[in-house]
Structure 1
Amino acid sequence: MIRSNPTLTAILTRRIVFFAMLAMLVQLAVIFSDYYWNVGELSRLYVEQETERLVSGVGSRDGAVSYRLPEAVGRRYAHPQTGYVARIRDGRGDLIFESCDDACESRFLPAEVNPPDFWLRTIKPGKPLTLVGGRAFNIGEQRIVVDVATLGDPENLASDVFWNEILEHMIVPMSILLGLVLGATLLSVRRALKPVKVAADAAELIDPLDSRSHLPFEGMPREIAHLAVAVNRAVQRIGELMRSQRILTSGIAHEVRTPLAAIKLELGRIDHPRARKAEADLDDLVHFVSQLTGLARLDTFDHSMFEEVDLVVLCTSVAEQLAPWVYENRHSLEVFSHVETAIVRAMPALLKDALRNLVENAVRHTPASTNIIIRVGESGIQVEDRRNDSSCPLQNTEGFGIGLKIVERIAELHDGSLRRSVSLQGHIFDLYLPIVTIR
């Protein structure tokens, strides 16, 4: 469900682009009011841009000046009747290019006059533009003077001038600025959130009962570091609460065991078959209370106490301890190892409890003469019960009691799992554990 939420990068990108577009619209309105309705400023821009287009055709080689009318303005200045005229002279006043008749020539500055770098005169105020103007350029060592005039602006070049001004002085700079701001912002956000990503990964593995488990806040922005510290405190309080609950449950179970032991002692003094039946039921209850105590004690273990454990050695040790009891209950017990060594990071006492529970369940819930096999392999431990009488129906593993719940919880504490399966001869329990070293 969280994947449907937008990332912070996406949110910032949308907002930056939105406000950048809004700023461009505001600036467009300002430029429109400043240029399009300001005929004097629009006339100045027209002279600047049109003279730049015309002077681009000037060439200079070995001191000689040549001219070729640019294609962009060729149609406008092919003859004087288009409504646009131009004249280009060198620094001595010699004519380089002209598209003007005598009447138009009279509107330009006289040839003998040394023109300023820029000049403009409005013939008819307002729009469409009717004006003459000129501008001086330095090409190499030559001074080139370009004069232009428009009579009524029949091609509405004023609009082209306006939109060219927007493109050059608003859209291009704003786009560059937007790219730089957006890139710098996203880069800053990514770098600022990198510690948060590390903390999020750590949060997936956080264990309230592990003293080493916490959210790292080194390198985080101060505001987010405060949140990480608060989360660590909350996790610490949760761990303390869970420990209190486990202690309470363990205490209750321990208190119950004492009167149960007294009752069993009294039943032992009664010589009656019904007393023996009650004594057997009481043994089952004592075993159940013992398992409850073990389950309550599981989550109080600290992962910092884990150590390297050889599963081959551990399984052999547990089998030696349980063998007399297994044989006493008319079952057999075998241990096989497919590897020489299988090292895991674990709490030895917990793994022994898990293996002991699996063997005890096999003994308690299978018929006599069942062969119980413990195998150590590359993925962990396997416990299988094989019946000699295959005609005897298999018991449902759901009735195996709280012992399997204990084993499942121990497997979870070791980042492993417990899987159950059924063969033709009995039940198979695979306790998968993350092997560190195998040989």
Structure 2
Amino acid sequence: MIRSRPSLRSILTKRIAFFAVLAMVLQLAVIFSDYYWNVGELSRLYVEQETERLASGILVDNGSVSYKLPESVGQRYQGEQTGYLARIRDANGALVFESCEDACESRFLPRDVNLPDFWLRVLKPGKPLTLVGGRAFNVGSQRFVVDVATTGDPENVVSGVFWNEVIEHMIVPMSILLVLVLGATLLSVRQALKSVRAAADAADQIDPLDARSHLAFEEMPREIAHLAVAVNRAFDRVGELMTSQKVLTSGIAHEVRTPLAAIKLELGRIDDPRARKAEADLDDLVLFIGQLTALARLDSFDHGMFEEVDLVALSSDVVEQLAPWVYENAHSLELSARVDSSVVHGVPALLKDALRNLVENAVWHTPDQSKIVVRVGSGMVQVEDRHPAGMQGDTGPARHSDSLGLGLKIVERIAELHRGSVRRSASKQGHTFDLTIGT
């Protein structure tokens, strides 16, 4: 969905190109109004460009002067009947080239006149152009004067003069400016968006349950920093809501436990088999509420509490604490460490809860005299229950139904918080639960 949206780079490119073309169109309109309808300016441009084309054919080699008529103007200066006349003289008045004889003498400046650098005379106002003019050029170390004249401009050379002016003084400069502006803009946008991309990557890693998880905005541009600060405030509010949920859950659990404890105390005073059954049901309810409360608290857990934890030492503590209770329930408990030390990044209290739930689950859901083995490996803890010889995996009475499986839900949630997983497998001897902790 996001990739289907146009990028900021493409949007800017299109807009800059659009306004550049619009500027060219407006500039063309200005040039058209300034030049095309200005006969005097067009006449000046005509003399400048046409004399420059003719002057390109002058060759000076060791003081020897020769001339070759350029192909671009060759057809126009083949005689006096073409409507175009040309004459080229050196500084001494010596003739280098002419396309006319009597007509040149009657239209151009006399030979004895001191030749100016530029001259122009309009013979007939308006268009088509009818004019004479000339311009001086230095070729090598010598000075030459090129004179031109046209009567009616039959080949409409003035249109070429106009478009040449447009290309040289508008299209070329504007194109160069467009490339520079577009390149500078895209480069600037790319540099500016680096912080945005970095902020987006950082936002993906933000955990609202971690009080230390925020977007760092110190090196961002001011406008983007405002967005980063707003995102941080939003995550702070989410964290506050989760904290409120945690407080509410704890309050509910505390309020429920007190009357349940009172009820159990009263049931203990009743000498009746039905009271013992009610006590067992009440124990299941207390266990259920405790698991439900623990599961709710995990949803508002602060990830800032993570630290280095040795699974071998942690498992040893849990086994030592649970061993008396396990033996009282007619089971055996054993610890087997496959490594001397297994250090992971986690929360000791949560990992102990996960391991305790797995051991308790094995006690509740296996027949008497089952053997429970806790094995510790690299980044993982395995809890296996082995049934007595001759009994099948899913036979025998269960001490608690735990139909909702909240104990295992708690273990799975703790594993998720530690970037790990829980895998269950079954065999004829019993069940095996592998708790893997991400490092």
Judge same fold: TM > 0.5, yes or no: yes
1:193-233 Cα deviation digits (max 9, x unpaired): 33232222222222334232222221333233233223323
> Are 1:401 and 2:405 counterparts?
yes
Any unmatched runs of 5+ in structure 2? Answer: none
Report how many aligned residue pairs link the two structures.
Answer: 433
Any unmatched runs of 5+ in structure 1? Answer: none
TM-score (norm 2): 0.87
Change (3 A) 1:329 1:59: farther
Q: What secondary structure does 1:308 align onto?
A: strand
Q: Which residue of 2 aligns with 1:392?
A: 394
Which whole-Å CA distance do the structure 2 matches of 1:26 and 1:148 have between them? 33
Q: What secondary structure does 1:60 align onto?
A: strand
Which whole-Å CA distance do the structure 1 matches of 2:408 and 2:172 have between them? 70
TM-score (norm 1): 0.87
Partner amino acid, structure 2, of 1:189: V
Partner amino acid, structure 1, of 2:151: L
Deviation at 1:123, TM superposition (A): 2.6
Which whole-Å CA distance do the structure 2 matches of 1:213 and 1:369 have between them? 48
Deviation at 1:421, TM superposition (A): 5.0
Partner amino acid, structure 1, of 2:291: Q
Partner amino acid, structure 2, of 1:12: L
Which whole-Å CA distance do the structure 2 matches of 1:373 and 1:45 have between them? 102
1:93-115 Cα deviation digits (max 9, x unpaired): 22222223432442222222232
Q: What secondary structure does 1:119 align onto?
A: strand
Which whole-Å CA distance do the structure 2 matches of 1:412 and 1:356 have between them? 17
Partner amino acid, structure 2, of 1:309: V
Q: Which residue of 2 aligns with 1:86?
A: 86
Which whole-Å CA distance do the structure 2 matches of 1:139 and 1:239 have between them? 83
Is the Cα–Cα contact under 8 Å of residues 193 and 220 in structure 1 kept in the other structure? no
- In percent, how many aligned pairs have the same letter? 72
Partner amino acid, structure 2, of 1:82: T
Which whole-Å CA distance do the structure 2 matches of 1:261 and 1:403 have between them? 21
Partner amino acid, structure 2, of 1:14: K
Is the Cα–Cα contact under 8 Å of residues 195 and 218 in structure 1 kept in the other structure? no
Deviation at 1:373, TM superposition (A): 5.2
Q: Which residue of 2 aligns with 1:260?
A: 260
Deviation at 1:243, TM superposition (A): 0.8
Is the Cα–Cα contact under 8 Å of residues 329 and 363 in structure 2 kept in the other structure? yes
Which whole-Å CA distance do the structure 2 matches of 1:46 and 1:13 have between them? 38
Structure 1 stretch displaced more, 104-113 or 10-19: 104-113
Structure 1 stretch displaced more, 11-20 or 312-321: 312-321
Change (3 A) 1:67 1:198: same
1:96-150 Cα deviation digits (max 9, x unpaired): 2222343244222222223222222223332232322221122332222222223
Change (3 A) 1:265 1:141: same
1:49-104 Cα deviation digits (max 9, x unpaired): 22222222333333333333333333333444433332222222222222234324
Partner amino acid, structure 2, of 1:225: A
Q: Which residue of 1 aligns with 2:56?
A: 56
> Are 1:208 and 2:208 counterparts?
yes
Partner amino acid, structure 1, of 2:350: L
Q: What secondary structure does 1:4 align onto?
A: coil
Which whole-Å CA distance do the structure 1 matches of 2:318 and 2:103 have between them? 118
Which whole-Å CA distance do the structure 1 matches of 2:215 and 2:206 have between them? 8
1:7-32 Cα deviation digits (max 9, x unpaired): 22222222222111111111111111
Which whole-Å CA distance do the structure 1 matches of 2:416 and 2:36 have between them? 74
Is the Cα–Cα contact under 8 Å of residues 250 and 293 in structure 1 kept in the other structure? yes
Which whole-Å CA distance do the structure 2 matches of 1:171 and 1:421 have between them? 74
Which of 415, 420, 425 is 1:411 aligned to? 415
1:174-195 Cα deviation digits (max 9, x unpaired): 1111122222222222333332
Deviation at 1:249, TM superposition (A): 1.0
